[in-house]
């Protein structure tokens, strides 16, 4: 049976991808760092859809573990989907944080998706079929001083995905860049920076993860390279194009849009509140798991 690989499938958008691809009849290879969540997913998918799920416990910023996993995928000729979904946000100060923190985000959001795509693309190309979905964020279209590396790494993923689509689509391999907006997942579970953050405001509309994934797969079936799920998110994307970049960044640095988008609580410093349009990334600020440096991993564990 054709197999789908989803990174970061232990919760949120990745879990929904695993469920919806299983519903389409695919066996799965899923990654994450929380074994119990992945085992629960495995049981659930077997019961509901009768598919087989292989679990790989993987810290994606661990270069050696990534290499082992990439080599494994390069040898799987049954792979028809790669969903590069794993990601995280954290409160950032580019200058005050150690560079190792920035390198870690770069590894998870950029190196890992590129390495895995590099592993599977030749196989898919030879087969003349397959799909790679890279999960970025609407935040990638913005500048933000408080989510600098998040926006920068996701923006890099955007450019990579669109270029990869140009290379692979003539060979029958589809590539999708998925740009979700606010989505109900575990991403924000430890984020108490903005008490009002989960309320819909103007164009900021929270979406359930299964809906984001349904729209992504629908757009993939329709051959669309870029998927911005939901009308409000599409309008936001349009706004980022229409507002001149200088003005947008100025608004962002003055925090004007935070008045519309997010209520900065009193205890936040003015600098914290000045994320402006970049407050689209506000709820994505904290590391949802508070996970620090790469820990022990098993690159190839079922």
Ligand X SMILES: NC(=O)c1ccc[n+]([C@@H]2O[C@H](COP(=O)([O-])OP(=O)(O)OC[C@H]3O[C@@H](n4cnc5c(N)ncnc54)[C@H](OP(=O)(O)O)[C@@H]3O)[C@@H](O)[C@H]2O)c1
**Comparison of 113 and 130: residue with beta carbon closer to ligand X:** 113
156-165 long-range contacts (CB < 8 A, ≥24 apart) are 156/109, 156/110, 157/84, 157/109, 157/110, 157/113, 160/110, 160/113, 160/114, 160/117, 160/134, 161/132, 161/134, 161/136, 161/225, 162/225, 162/226, 164/117, 164/121, 164/132, 165/225
| Residue 61 binds to ligand X (criterion: CB under 6 A) | yes
Q: Which stretch binds ligand X (CB under 6 A): 74-82, 216-224, 253-261, 282-290?
A: 282-290
Determine the interface stretch with ligand X among 180-188, 192-200, 215-223, 248-256 (rule: CB under 6 A): 180-188
**Which residue among 22, 51, 55, 60 contacts ligand X (CB under 6 A)?**
60
Binding test (CB under 6 A) with ligand X, winner from 23, 24, 25, 34: 34
Closest contact distance (angstroms) between CB of 165 and ligand X is 18
DSSP 89-129: -----TTTS-HHHHHHHHIIIIIHHHHHHHHHHHHHHHHT-
- Is 191 a binder of ligand X (CB under 6 A)? no
Q: For residues 143 and 245, what is the distance between their CA atoms, to the nearest angstrom? A: 9
Distances in Å between the Cα of 180 and the Cα atoms of 1, 50, 138, 209, 240 are: 29, 29, 6, 9, 14
Q: Exposure of 156 by Cβ count < 10 A (0-12 exposed, 13-18 middle, 19+ buried)?
A: middle
Interface residue with ligand X among 146, 185, 191, 275 (CB under 6 A) is 185
Binding residue for ligand X, selected from 3, 4, 14, 116, defined by CB under 6 A: 14
**Is residue 194 annotated as part of the catalytic site, yes or no?**
no
Q: Residue 115 Cβ, how far from ligand X at the closest point, in Å? A: 13
Contact call for residue 86 and ligand X (CB under 6 A): yes
**Tokens standing for residue 5:** 């690989």
Site string for ligand X, 120-149 (x = CB under 6 A): ---------------x-x------------
Please tell me the count of residues contacting ligand X according to CB under 6 A: 31
Among 17, 69, 81, 88, interactor with ligand X by CB under 6 A: 88
| Active-site annotation, residues | 150
Interface residues toward ligand X, by CB under 6 A: 8-14, 32-34, 37, 58-61, 85-88, 108, 135, 137, 180, 182-183, 185-187, 284, 288-289
């Amino acid at each position: 049976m054709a197999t789908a690989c989803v990174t970061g499938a232990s919760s949120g958008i990745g879990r929904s991808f695993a469920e919806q691809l299983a519903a389409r009849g695919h066996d799965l290879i899923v990654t994450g760092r929380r074994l119990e969540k992945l085992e629960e997913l495995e049981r659930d998918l077997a019961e509901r859809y009768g598919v087989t799920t292989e679990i790989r416990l993987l810290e994606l910023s661990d270069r050696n573990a990534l290499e082992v996993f990439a080599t494994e995928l390069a040898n799987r000729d049954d792979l028809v989907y790669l969903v590069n979904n794993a990601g995280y946000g954290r409160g950032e100060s580019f200058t005050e944080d150690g560079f190792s923190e920035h390198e870690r985000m770069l590894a998870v959001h950029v190196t890992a998706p590129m390495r895995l795509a590099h592993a599977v693309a030749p196989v898919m190309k030879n087969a003349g079929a397959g799909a790679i979905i890279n999960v970025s964020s609407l935040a990638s279209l913005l500048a933000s001083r408080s989510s600098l590396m998040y926006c920068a790494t996701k923006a890099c993923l955007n450019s990579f995905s669109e270029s990869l689509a140009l290379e692979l689509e003539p060979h029958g391999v589809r590539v999708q860049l998925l740009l979700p907006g606010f989505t109900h997942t575990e991403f924000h579970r430890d984020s108490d920076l903005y008490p009002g953050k989960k309320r819909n405001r103007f164009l900021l509309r929270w979406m359930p993860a299964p809906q984001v994934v349904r729209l992504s797969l629908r757009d993939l079936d329709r051959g669309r390279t870029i998927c911005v799920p939901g009308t409000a998110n599409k309008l936001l994307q349009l706004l980022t194009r229409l507002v001149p970049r200088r003005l947008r960044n100025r608004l962002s640095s003055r925090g004007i849009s935070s008045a519309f988008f997010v209520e900065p609580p009193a205890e936040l410093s003015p600098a914290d509140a000045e994320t402006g349009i970049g407050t689209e990334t506000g709820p994505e600020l904290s590391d949802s798991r508070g996970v620090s440096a790469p820990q022990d991993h098993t690159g190839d564990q079922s």
